[in-house]
């Protein structure tokens, strides 16, 4: 019988019962891939992570990320949350100001910065791969039907429905206003018909009308293919969101653009994700950064008979 200890935390929030839940197993050496997937399915959180020794010697740790159904090559709140746990568990070098960890994931090595406050990790920011822009969908009626909305709520934005990836592809769907975002009823039958063979099956919906002061974008994300009906906070989509907003001039041009995306409010799990996009002198995106706070909830262990 193997006893596996895990940490439970809420990510992209500074308080309990907000943000996105995460379980982190910091000592996963010897755990089989099938067992990792079974544990993620048992815990049934958006993601569960397992920390291993790196294969790339330039990295500090290797992190494997599982949804209840699949392993992901990269994800935002698991990267931020795992770094928080490593720092909290004295597995990251503490400093008076900033520490950088290098986490090996499926897309390569991800640099993650830890800002310390009174010896505790106060803010975690990951760097993401530079964006790739994919296909655009033009069938507004089909996507509106999938969201149970009127087509005009999408068309009125004059923005494209476009795939953007910083490691994981998402279809970005702009909405006219906040009431439209609140009214979404996601239809799996239409999703299967419209996006079954499309290059991005994760659907990220946003509007520039917000609920909370200080937020710039209100967001929702649906990923049925990963076993996630709706995600309360999606860091892997927030970097591409920033790239989309910069590319289509939704945000004013600048060498560095910062904003906060609010997510999870419809689920009763308010999440606040800070996005920072850097551009070079030619106006090309040169840096994608996503960060936030974490709240430790507790710890426990599983007994596994392998």
Catalytic residues: 47
Q: Which long-range contacts (CB under 8 A, 24 or more apart) does 253-260 make?
A: 253/279, 253/283, 254/279, 255/279, 255/280, 259/215, 259/216, 259/217, 260/214, 260/215, 260/216, 260/217
Cα separations (Å) of 96 from 195, 215, 295?
Answer: 48, 29, 20
Give yes or no for a contact between 119 and 92, defined as CB atoms under 8 angstroms apart: no
Burial of 294: CB neighbours in 10 Å, binned 0-12, 13-18, 19+: buried
Q: What is the DSSP letter of 271?
A: E
Give yes or no for a contact between 293 and 242, defined as CB atoms under 8 angstroms apart: no
How many CA within 13 A on the CB side of residue 109? 13
Burial of 52: CB neighbours in 10 Å, binned 0-12, 13-18, 19+: middle
Give yes or no for a contact between 60 and 111, defined as CB atoms under 8 angstroms apart: no
Q: Which residue has the tokens 């799990």?
A: 269
Give yes or no for a contact between 153 and 165, defined as CB atoms under 8 angstroms apart: no
- How many other CB atoms are found less than 10 A from the CB of residue 34? 9
- Give the separation between CA 226 and CA 220, rounded to whole angstroms: 15
Buried b (16+ CB within 10 A) or exposed e, 130-147: ebeeeeebeebebbbbbb
């Amino acid at each position: 019988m193997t006893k596996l200890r895990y940490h439970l935390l809420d990510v992209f929030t500074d308080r309990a019962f907000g943000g996105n839940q995460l379980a982190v197993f910091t000592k996963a050496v010897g755990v089989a891939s099938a067992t990792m997937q079974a544990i993620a399915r048992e815990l049934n959180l958006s993601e569960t992570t397992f920390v291993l020794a790196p294969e790339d010697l330039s990295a500090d740790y290797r992190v494997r990320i599982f949804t209840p159904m699949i392993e992901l090559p990269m994800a935002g709140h698991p990267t931020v949350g795992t770094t928080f746990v490593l720092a909290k568990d004295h597995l990251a070098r503490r400093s008076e100001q900033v520490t950088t960890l290098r986490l090996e994931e499926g897309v390569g090595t991800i640099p993650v910065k830890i800002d310390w406050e009174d010896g505790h990790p106060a803010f975690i920011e990951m760097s993401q791969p530079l964006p790739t822009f994919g296909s655009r969908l033009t069938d507004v009626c089909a996507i509106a039907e999938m969201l149970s909305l009127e087509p005009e709520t999408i068309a009125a934005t004059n923005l494209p429905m476009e795939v953007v990836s910083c490691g994981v592809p998402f279809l970005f769907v702009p909405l006219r206003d906040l009431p439209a975002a609140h009214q979404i009823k996601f239809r799996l039958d239409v999703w299967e018909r419209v996006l079954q063979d499309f290059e991005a099956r994760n659907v990220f919906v946003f509007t520039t009308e917000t609920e909370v002061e200080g937020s710039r974008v209100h967001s929702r994300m649906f990923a049925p293919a990963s076993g996630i009906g709706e995600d309360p906070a999606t860091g892997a989509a927030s970097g591409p969101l920033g790239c989309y907003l910069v590319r289509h001039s939704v945000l004013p041009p600048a060498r560095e653009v910062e904003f906060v995306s609010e997510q999870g409010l419809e689920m009763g799990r308010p999440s606040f994700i800070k996005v920072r996009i850097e551009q070079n002198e030619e106006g090309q995106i040169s840096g994608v950064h996503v960060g936030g706070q974490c709240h430790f909830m507790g710890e426990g262990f599983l007994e596994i008979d392998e």
